[in-house]
A and B are shown apart, each in its own frame.
Chain A
């Protein structure tokens, strides 16, 4: 059970945060198809940052001394750097779609095509190979483990401790916290209300003195920052802190999760957990022991592995089939705002 929850979180958290990134852009009226590209770029920048700075005395010493607090700080710092560059990268999209009034779908697609190419090109120059990786294992640097808290190798904490602290990454919780804070920002503050109004009826917002361009820039930039961070969190937790110009389609999955979750944060959290759960079952069904009695039920029932691998996608299709009628996208998304139009 512990294992299942932990692995589900590893898959669900990047999806969740990147889907929220999509919400911020779309709620402000910009379709952000570039989530995948920004994730790839963010993952690359974060990994590069760790790769370059991990030999600095301040971090190397912290690692050698087992100073885990400093290392967690380092992890968060890398997330911030990834977010920063994700935001900068997304400015390309905002510039094209706000200032130049270009077609947002095409702009996003262009970024999606550009990011992996650019990243692979840079990785080739830097590392002379197709993968850029930190030195050593991500888990031994950044993962929270019992041994860090002075517990012995065989010692075990209670269920909650084992599930949510041991073998977890602080990045997971930073993302969840950010998810909650930003959802509140979007729904319970003046800024959030204005942002959402620009995605529904920008002319009306403008008539009330809201600067639509500014709001759309804000939405897309927050979106870029979250997607960049999500990309790094993905690379850190599921790819051993390596960047390969690829995030296994998580950006597109996040788009699907966003639509699946009807552009609403709570639904998105549910959708990404559901998807993460099935993704985890697909990969590890042979070692999932739900009630701890030593029986691996999912293997015992003898269903083909291919069925398990299809599950996440089948479930998505089924749920979409049932919920898509109620699906309601922001009304003005994808339409460049023109002051003169009414």
Chain B
């Protein structure tokens, strides 16, 4: 009896908090104490070992044929503790891109290893402060987290504070860097590689008027690397083909990684003036960009995960193996090889962490074989792509770059 009423009270207060939290600023994201509607899936400690055991993430480890879609986003653990925690970046959990890709890794790892998991969204949504992020991390640790996966380089300051304060908890900093603490590891990706491959592929396909719309207002290293790689790839392909390529390059309306009517109008303007393919490198901005593309019969290059299922306008996507890398790093946290990483891991094509989606290949003039040959060159180190994005504004041989 008592238990039921307690649960009810919890549920009601959860509902109230949701309402209150979202009351503030319209689109404000709530911290979401997802206590409601717990999926009654017992966590059945599966005996199957970690899929990507102490080894770099393969193309798809596919733990026991269970896809991340099948695993519920929230679960209730028997003891009320959540061993693997995920702290979201700005943007939503279900952005079908960065946050979701990382969280998929958390879910896959937890599911395969019988761990309990939970996600935390720092308060105040796009306007989250370091304190909000720290609070989310502290809540995660208080909730029994052994491993905390933090997505996004903006969590650095909060993470440093939390990691120092909770030395017994392991922190995985996706898109981050080493903070010099034993319990933290920064996982970065060579985004310039998949950006390069995407830029190369669309120019090889025959498109000469491209666009790049990135998130983070030009301060986000990952997005900058994507963009810089994209331009390099487009330039390389254009040089081979003797073509001239024009690229509109913009960080506008992307600071909060969210969709907006203004962004849609701006991208519509590009398409209306002849732009053929726009690289949407910024979480939920994707929605505005595909909306503009669908209206103008344009095309889009997706980012982070294969986004072709979300819109018919997606021609290819610049992949980074967020989910695989998360599974891999979580595995390291549990199998005693944590220290081997030495605080940082930079994953690229050689570990299968960057690439283009082969399963949903839609390009016609540029074949999978050509792509794989290029990928092999990158893996072997024959083709090295510069990642110093401060060189973006140079004299490109075949690209006219319009920075907007």
Contact = CB atoms under 8 A, between A and B. Distances in A.
Interface of A: 2-3, 7, 10-11, 40, 113, 116-118, 120-121, 124-125, 127-131, 133, 136-140, 143, 145, 147, 153, 167, 238-240, 242, 244-246, 248, 279-280, 282-284, 286-289, 305
Contact of A139 (B19, B20, B291): B291
Contacts of B32: 124
23 contacts: A2-B272, A3-B269, A3-B272, A7-B265, A7-B269, A120-B18, A121-B19, A124-B30, A128-B94, A130-B92, A131-B287, A137-B293, A238-B264, A240-B290, A245-B22, A248-B260, A283-B265, A283-B269, A284-B265, A284-B268, A284-B269, A286-B404, A287-B272
Contacts of B146: none
A202 to B, nearest CB: 34
A305 B270 CA distance: 16
A138 B294 contact: yes
A136 B293 CA distance: 12
Given A283-B263, A289-B273, 15 more contacts: A7-B269, A11-B261, A113-B23, A117-B20, A118-B19, A129-B93, A140-B312, A238-B265, A239-B264, A239-B288, A242-B259, A244-B27, A283-B253, A284-B266, A286-B266
Nearest to A116: B26
A246 B311 contact: no
B284 A117 contact: no
Q: Is the interface of A mostly helix, strand, loop or mixed?
A: helix
Residue among B93, B297, B402 facing the most chain A CB atoms (10 A cut-off): B297
A116 B23 contact: yes
A130 B94 CA distance: 8
Contacts of A127: 94
B29 interface: yes
Contacts, number: 126
Residue among A147, A153, A238 facing the most chain B CB atoms (10 A cut-off): A238
A284 B248 CA distance: 13
A283 B262 contact: yes
Contacts of B268: 3, 7, 284
Contacts of B248: 286
A11 B261 CA distance: 9
A11 B74 CA distance: 38
Contacts of A133: 287
Residue among A117, A118, A138, A245 facing the most chain B CB atoms (10 A cut-off): A117
A136 B295 contact: no
Interface residues of B, number: 49
Shortest 7 CB-CB contacts between residues of A and residues of B: A287-B269, A129-B94, A137-B294, A139-B294, A240-B291, A284-B269, A238-B261
Nearest to B93: A129
A121 B268 CA distance: 32
A106 to B, nearest CB: 16
A305 B312 CA distance: 32
B66 to A, nearest CB: 19
A82 B269 CA distance: 29
Interface of B: 15, 18-20, 22-23, 26-27, 29-30, 32, 36-37, 73-74, 92-94, 248, 252-253, 259-266, 268-270, 272-273, 284, 287-288, 290-291, 293-297, 311-313, 402, 404
Nearest to B91: A130
A240 B268 CA distance: 13
Contacts of B37: 125
A40 B22 CA distance: 13
B269 A286 contact: yes
Nearest to B290: A137
A130 B74 CA distance: 15
Contacts of B27: 116, 130, 244-246
Nearest to A296: B273
B269 A167 contact: no
Contacts of B294: 137-140, 143
Given A128-B94, A284-B266, A120 B22 contact: yes
Contacts of B93: 129
A204 to B, nearest CB: 41
A153 B402 CA distance: 27
Contacts of A128: 73-74, 94
A283 B248 CA distance: 15
Contact of A129 (B92, B252, B288): B92
A182 B316 CA distance: 47
A289 B318 CA distance: 32
B176 to A, nearest CB: 24
Contact of A287 (B22, B263, B270): B270
A282 B288 CA distance: 17
B195 to A, nearest CB: 22
A11 B260 CA distance: 12
Contacts of A147: 297
